[in-house]
Amino acid sequence: MKHGFVKVAAIAFEVKVADPVTNAERLIAAIKDAAANGARVIVSQELGITGYTCQDLFLQDALLGAAEEALIRIADETKDVNALIYVGLPLEVDGKLYNVAAALNKGEILGFIPKRNLPNYGEFYEKRHFTEGIPEVAEIVFRDRVVPFGMNILFESDAVKGLIVGCELCEDAWVAKTPSTSHALAGATLIVNLSASDEIIGKTEYRTMLIKALSGRLVCGYVYATAGVGESSQDLVFGGQNTIAEYGTLLSQGKLFGNETVYADIDIAKLITERRRMTSFETTPVADYVILPFELDEELTALTRTFPRRPFVPEEETLKKERLEQILSMQTEGLKQRLRHIGAKKIVLGLSGGLDSTLALLICVKAFEELGLDPAGMITITMPGFGTTGRTYNNACEMARCANATLREISIKKAVEVHFEDIGQSADKHDVTYENSQARERTQILMDIANMENAIVVGTGDMSELALGWATYNGDHMSMYGVNAGVPKTLVRHLVRFYSEETSNAALSAVLKDVLDTPVSPELLPPKDGEIAQITEDLVGPYELHDFFLYYMLRCGYTPDKVYRIAVVTFTRKVEGEEYYDEETIKKWLKTFYRRFFSQQFKRSCLPDGVKIGSVALSPRGDLRMPSDASARIWLDMLEDI
């Protein structure tokens, strides 16, 4: 359970209607199987001890007594199970019958949570048998045991920081004022739901949407276990589609009518971080809640959860296409608004033939088209230097031609050589001054031409470069509007590829595909045999690793050891067509990431304007208010202890 992960399960078993003895046997087997698979919170269906479809048999003393005996047996036979367990049964309290969830832990019955909202419409007639539960918690005597009874009971783990579990039953999740809302505001980070949701056409999709929405709105994990095989088909059919969600994301779902136990690793630490970040989410101690402890043995949760290699890029193809279109539109709208506001009809863009300047040009093309501006107002400038190769130079020229943009060529070699003489820099000394002088000369050219043309300089640097500080201060670091500031490098590549596939301009498509095949490089060192000599990812590390690190550090608040753990889970799996990284390589570049992220904040503190695209952004005016002289020590120390 280190790093805040806890494995949960929504179990399935074949219920036998009105047979608590058989159901207890099957529940015990399913619970033990789930625990053997690592589940530490285990949830079963509504009224699972008796079956949901008993109808007027719920009024029979024989059934109620047998259900109580079954619960005692389940508690006794799971005393060695390392889990918090929820089972459903009918329970008589003070002459009234309640539909309850019983919470069990290591042989003890910790509490009974009654269902609040009893459906009595359509195919449901629960008020014929049951009484609505009340929030207030009282103590009742159950078979010589004193047990808390009431809706407002939460259970807090002694082994997983922040794991507080609340419970609701079926219809409780479908109403406007859900018990889970109160539970979450009282501190619950995990909600369990014991349900018996029958199937009618269209309900499956709605139910899934509902569960995802609840987990998102409440910033919690949500475990939904529902009735399936064995319930009476006299008038209804039950699909048994167990579902687990976390903060709006579906983590696991069984097949409809598959009667599957489903598992997921809930990230409690991430949920706590998210709530802490969201100042509008106010958890406050509630006087009428009772929070009871439950025991778990401390252990390292074996992760079965997967993490996207490229968290900034949607994995599902249809969604990816929609998202990429939206991102291009967002970048375009940002630039359009800036041009409209200042009345500019021209832009100046340094076009290198690399990925970032390519994407920036595509955004300019879209903005000029939508504003009805003359494409000749896109003044693209190629500025060959000491490291420029024929491949990138030719691609830059061809792209400008395809875009009907104005293309100017201004070599920086002579100006930089004069500058070297002025400052006493040897042209044979290929150090940081040699490189940065070229970047700053290019920026000066762009800025001055923008002044001459009454235009603005459109910046090309992306978010990954900003995170690593891989930009020359007051060189390519500076512009008048940065269209790529909210786009990480892995996403830049997908956007350019998407554009190449969607455009009807065959010549443009061809050059875009060659840009995609060109190694990422600042091209500031002389070529070797005409080829690029300076490969960025050889120097600072693979961008797919850095984007992964960036997302889970900033968006999820993960500690360095947790980032390392999930990176190892993700990148040491050998997947066809994907790069493989061993643990030492991951650790090496993760250290580089933290060192550069902290040391280079001063460059981000004075960024040009640029539109925010996703949930991670580095603008000092928005998401990242970070001191430029913050120490990275504690983050790096955590990696030394691995």
Give the DSSP H/E element, type plus range, for residue 222: strand 221-226
Q: What distances in angstroms separate CA 580 from CA 467, 489, 494, 558, 569, one per listed residue? A: 23, 19, 20, 23, 11
- Decide if pLDDT at 521 tops 80: no
How many helices and strands, by DSSP H and E, does the chain display?
19, 20
359/361 Cα distance (integer angstroms): 5
CATH number (domain holding residue 118): 3.60.110.10
Indicate if 333 and 244 belong to the same structural domain: no
Does residue 467 fall inside a structural domain? yes
Q: What tokens were used for 507?
A: 């010549």
| CA–CA separation, 28 and 630 (whole Å) | 53
Do 128 and 259 share a domain, yes or no? Answer: yes
Please give the positions annotated as active site.
46, 115, 170
CB of 266 closer than 8 Å to CB of 6:
yes
Condensed to tens digits (0 to 9), the pLDDT of residues 6-50 reads 999 999 999 999 999 999 999 999 999 999 999 999 999 999 999
Report residue 533's pLDDT band, with 50, 70 and 90 as the boundaries.
low
Residues 511-550: b if buried by 16+ CB within 10 A, e if exposed: bbebbeebebbbbbbebeeeebbbebbeebbbbbbbbbbb
Is residue 579 domain-shared with residue 522, that is, in the same domain?
Answer: yes
Report, as an integer, the average pLDDT of 461-480.
Answer: 96
Lowest mean pLDDT among 16-30, 441-455, 511-525, 583-597: 511-525
What is the three-state SS of 232-281?
A: CCCCCCECCCCEEEECCEEEEECCCCCCCCEEEEEEHHHHHHHHHHCCCC
The tokens describing 423, both together, are 């400052």
Measure the N-to-C terminal CA separation of the chain; round to a whole number of Å: 17
Q: CA nearest 136: which of 294, 286, 292, 284?
A: 286
Q: Taking the CA of residue 442 as centre, how many other CA atoms within 13 Å lie in the half-sphere pointing to its CB?
A: 34
Instruction: Report which of 161, 183, 426, 166 is spatially closest to residue 284, judged by C-alpha positions.
Output: 183
Residue 123 has pLDDT above 90, yes or no: no
Report yes or no on 301 lying in a domain: no
Q: Write out the two tokens for 421.
A: 């003489």
Residue where the block lists tokens 């079963």 = 44
Closest CA to 588 of 615, 570, 619, 567: 567
Is residue 309 a part of any domain in this protein?
Answer: no
- What does 39-91 look like in DSSP terms, one character per residue? -SEEE--TTTTT-GGGGGGGG-HHHHHHHHHHHHHHHHHTTT--SEEEEEEEE
Q: The pTM is what?
A: 0.91
User: Do 458 and 335 touch, CB atoms closer than 8 A?
Assistant: yes
Residue range 504-509: average pLDDT?
A: 95
* Range of weakest confidence among 26-30, 94-98, 488-492, 575-579: 575-579
Instruction: Assess whether pLDDT exceeds 80 at residue 534.
Output: no
**Among 294, 328, 354, residue at a domain's last position:** 294
Same domain for 286 and 321: no
pLDDT confidence tier of residue 418, bands split at 50, 70 and 90: very high
* Axis-axis angle for helices 560-571, 543-550 (nearest 10): 140
Q: Is the pLDDT of residue 529 over 80?
A: no
In a domain, 308, yes or no: no
Look at residue 523 and tell me whether its pLDDT is greater than 90: no
pLDDT at 3 > cutoff 90? yes
Q: Are 357 and 460 contacting, i.e. CB atoms less than 8 angstroms apart?
A: yes
Q: Do 69 and 194 belong to one domain?
A: yes
Q: Tell me which amino acid residue 590 is.
A: L
pLDDT band at 555 (very low <50, low <70, confident <90, very high): very high
Q: Supply angle C-alpha 145, 146, 149, rounded to 5.
A: 125
135, part of any domain: yes
Tell me, yes or no, whether 271 and 418 share the same domain: no
Half-sphere exposure at residue 75, Cβ-oriented, CA atoms within 13 angstroms: 19
Q: Assess whether 346 and 261 both reside in one domain.
A: no
Is residue 305 in some structural domain? no
Half-sphere exposure of 164 (CA within 13 A, CB side): 22
Tell me the HSE value of 62 on the side-chain side, using a 13 A CA sphere: 5
Indicate whether 285 and 322 sit together in one domain. Answer: no
To the nearest whole number, what is the mean pLDDT of the chain? Answer: 95
If DSSP codes are grouped into helix, strand and coil, which group holds residue 453?
helix
Residues of the domain holding 19: 2-294
**Domain C-terminal end among 294, 309, 328:** 294
Q: Residue 539 is part of a domain; what is its CATH number?
A: 3.40.50.620
Q: Where are the alpha helices (DSSP H) in 505-629?
A: 506-517, 536-540, 543-550, 560-571, 583-599, 601-604
Residue 642: predicted pLDDT: 85
Cα 610 from Cα 485, distance rounded (Å): 6
Backbone angles phi, psi at 142, to 5 degrees: -125, 110
Mean pLDDT across the stretch 397-421?
97
What distance separates the 2 farthest-apart alpha carbons in the chain? 101
Q: How many CB atoms lie within 10 A of CB 313?
A: 18
Q: 314: which 2 tokens?
A: 């949607």
**Structural contact between residues 345 and 373, judged by C-beta atoms closer than 8 angstroms:** yes
Q: Does 281 share its domain with 329?
A: no
What average pLDDT score do residues 588-603 get?
97
Tally of domains within the chain:
2
Q: What is the pLDDT of residue 538?
A: 82
Q: Which pLDDT score is estimated for 577?
A: 83
pLDDT tens-digit map of 184-208: 999 999 999 999 999 999 999 999 9
Query: Is residue 304 a part of any domain in this protein?
Result: no
- Over residues 268-285, mean pLDDT: 91
pLDDT of residue 215 exceeding 80: yes
Within 10 angstroms of residue 333's Cβ, the number of other Cβ atoms is: 15
What integer pLDDT is reported at residue 190 of this predicted model? 98
**Which residue among 294, 326, 358 closes a domain?**
294
Specify the range with the lowest mean pLDDT, choosing from 184-193, 514-523, 607-616: 514-523
CA distances in angstroms from 55 to 48, 90, 232, 521, listed in the order given: 14, 11, 10, 71
Residue 558 lies in a domain: yes
pLDDT band at 1 (very low <50, low <70, confident <90, very high): low
What is the pLDDT confidence band of residue 284, given thresholds at 50, 70 and 90?
A: confident
What is residue 474's predicted lDDT score, i.e. its pLDDT? 94
Report the pLDDT averaged over residues 89-93.
98
Nearest residue to 153 via CA among 19, 288, 331, 9: 288
Phi, psi of 144 (to 5 degrees): 70, 10
Give yes or no: residues 398 and 443 share one domain: yes
- Do 467 and 422 lie in a common domain? yes
Residues 9 and 113 in one domain: yes
CA-angle at 210, arms to 51 and 239, nearest 5°: 35
**Measuring CA to CA, which residue among 45, 31, 42, 20 is closest to residue 240?**
45
